[in-house]
Amino acid sequence: RHSSIAQLYEVIETADNIFMVMEYAQNGEFFDYIMDGKMYVFSMQIIEREAHHYFAQIIAGLEYLHSLGVAHRDVKPENMLLDVHRR
């Protein structure tokens, strides 16, 4: 359990599919957030502050995974989810 990692509750495997029951991320993918232009563009200082905020969360989550001996092999905005608490 880590505040920057979506909780995996259950994995269900059928003959044809694998289903993962995860914590709900209400605000979707980080990629969509970036592409929709929702990052603040009022000034470079605000963009840098927001980028720092997200980068710190990503690093904290990866650091936690690495401390458990887990490596995430596909780190990209499409694989990062935003919950209701996103800025």
Q: What is the spatial distance between Cα 1 and Cα 56, in angstroms, rounded to a whole number?
A: 17
Mean pLDDT of the chain: 87
- Which of these is catalytic: 16, 32, 36, 74? 74
Q: What is the spatial distance between Cα 84 and Cα 14, in angstroms, rounded to a whole number?
A: 31
Q: What confidence tens digit (pLDDT) does each residue in 45-76 have?
A: 667 888 888 999 999 999 999 999 999 999 99
3-state SS, residue 47: helix
**Pair type for strands 18-22 and 8-13:** antiparallel
Q: Is 74 one of the catalytic residues?
A: yes
Q: Are 25 and 85 within 8 A, CB to CB?
A: no
Q: What is the pLDDT of residue 44?
A: 62
Q: What is the spatial distance between Cα 23 and Cα 20, in angstroms, rounded to a whole number?
A: 10
